[in-house]
Amino acid sequence: MKKRFLLTLMTVMLTCTVGAQVKPIVLGDKHAMLKMEQSSRYLLLPVQETEDIAAIAVLDNYNNMVQRLNVKLAVDRVDYYVPYELKGACLLDIEFHGDRRQKGAVGEFACWREMKYSNTFDTQNREHFRPVYHHTPLYGWMNDPNGMFYKDGVWHLYYQYNPYGSQWENMTWGHSTSKDLIHWEAQPLAIEADWLGSIFSGSCVTNGSEVVAFYTSAGHHQTQSMAVSKDGGRTFKKYSGNPILTTSDIADFRDPKAFWNEDAKMWNLILAAGQEMRIYSSKDLKAWKYESSFGKEYGNHSGVWECPDLFKIDNKWVLICNINPGGPFGGSATQYFVGQFDGHKFTCESMPKVTKWLDYGKDHYATVSFYNAPDNRRTVLAWMSNWQYANQVPTKQFRSANSIPRDLGLFRHGEETYVSVIPSKEMLAVRGAKIKNPTEACEILIDTKSQTEIVLSNNKGEKVTMKYDGQQQTFMMERVKSGDVSFSEAFPAVTVAPTFGTVKQLRIFIDRCSIEVFDAEGKMAMTNLVFPSEPYNNLKVKGGKATIYQVKN
């Protein structure tokens, strides 16, 4: 399946208009400058991921700083290139870090030999592990989904993005759009860093014809800012009154999620504040009143609370709380609470010691929902990775994908109410013809019995084993021998989920580097990355019946 249909790839040819070696002005053993001219659209920066960060200040013709970048400029070799768009003559003031006695003279670094001017940037997919039907960035690093909303038939997905490397840095809001939640088109950068700081996670609401974004400005302190779009979310103008929310009592103060509360007839906003969530209200989206806090005695507190969400399903409210570390099998994960909310205070209906996980895999984090999804749906996406190894997974052109879209509901088990998770109905549209053996991108249905074992394997002896135990009411996935697990000691893992009753059918989604498993009725979800050297093309099922569907191209 060589044809990729997830993102619209913009350019596939690299055309260098200037082939001469770039000549830096070396000022010291860690300092250099580079004079740029507007002769091409891009300067292609060579990256070496094992190097220390080089801090780059971009100066205009009057020596005013217009941008700051952190890039791992190549010293010995080039892993890949990233584009810096030239918007006029400028000067790059570059400070290198690390021990230069071990690296050699700055003027001899490989970056100067390998920098290129170009009018285009090659985004052709060359990655063995890039998913077929999951959203990924064209290039660079991606983590948390941000600001997601639905308007005029279009799903908007913003995300934490580094356009200058495939590891975490230079946080800005990337942007992709879709009409079906499957095929995504890359859009220009939406919100970029300013003097208040990098652009961390946040949310968007629609207010009449405007789209209003709320995000964390991550500078010396974390504050909350706002920006407004008058063109449907494609471009934003930052609010002149930023920051709109500040605090002095805690360092971790971030990830604002705003929404219209129809019950209370006002705007609410929830954000993460260390080990709790803080709730605010507003009449105009600009002035916010503190209402209450939730969480100090509830759920898991093994890590920092992040990326909250708060929404109503049927007659109950669900508070999403992403936590890192502290997940059920190490690292990052998504927990949640069910209760009531009156616009002022969230009241959890469970005992404080109860912890509920939305997904029991290791690679499901920063879950948030789309604002204004059609048909009153509560549709969510997650970041499909784990902070234990996200920077080290074996890809280079890009890092990280989002989960498939999922719709949430509620179900009862015993005395508790839980959130159900099912693949969004849009996933049925990619289900193609039945096939005999699994491929790199497919969906497998398993009609289960009380004891069912599922083994996916390839001709290299790499395998993933899954077991459903009806007596214990558990589902297990083991990826210890799944392929490349060498990049992190935390990656080889066995994950186990409660099924809250009998499972009649499992839906398993395979896509090059990921396996997502769902109870068809929504009572269990498990998401794990895998990196096999070749696709799993063998399937053995004991105690059940399998049907395999090819993913439509």
Written as one letter, the residue type at 59 is L
What are the beta bridge partners of residue 222?
218
- In angstroms, the CA 404 to CA 399 distance is 16
- In angstroms, the CA 413 to CA 437 distance is 36
- In angstroms, the CA 522 to CA 279 distance is 29
Q: Which of 456, 468, 547, 458 is nearest to 510 (CA)?
A: 456
**3 state DSSP class of 100:** helix
- In angstroms, the CA 279 to CA 271 distance is 7
Tokens encoding 496: 């186990």
Q: Which residues are catalytic?
A: 144
- In angstroms, the CA 71 to CA 81 distance is 11
Pairing of strands 398-399, 140-151: parallel
Tokens encoding 38: 């507007």
The count of other CB atoms within 10 Å of the CB of residue 521 is 17
**3 state DSSP class of 526:** strand
- In angstroms, the CA 372 to CA 173 distance is 20
Element (H, E) at 54: strand 54-59
What are the beta bridge partners of residue 55?
70, 95
User: Which sign does the torsion angle of CA 147, 148, 151, 154 carry?
Assistant: positive
- In angstroms, the CA 506 to CA 395 distance is 29
Say which residues have a Cβ less than 8 Å from residue 376's Cβ, sequence separation at least 6.
none
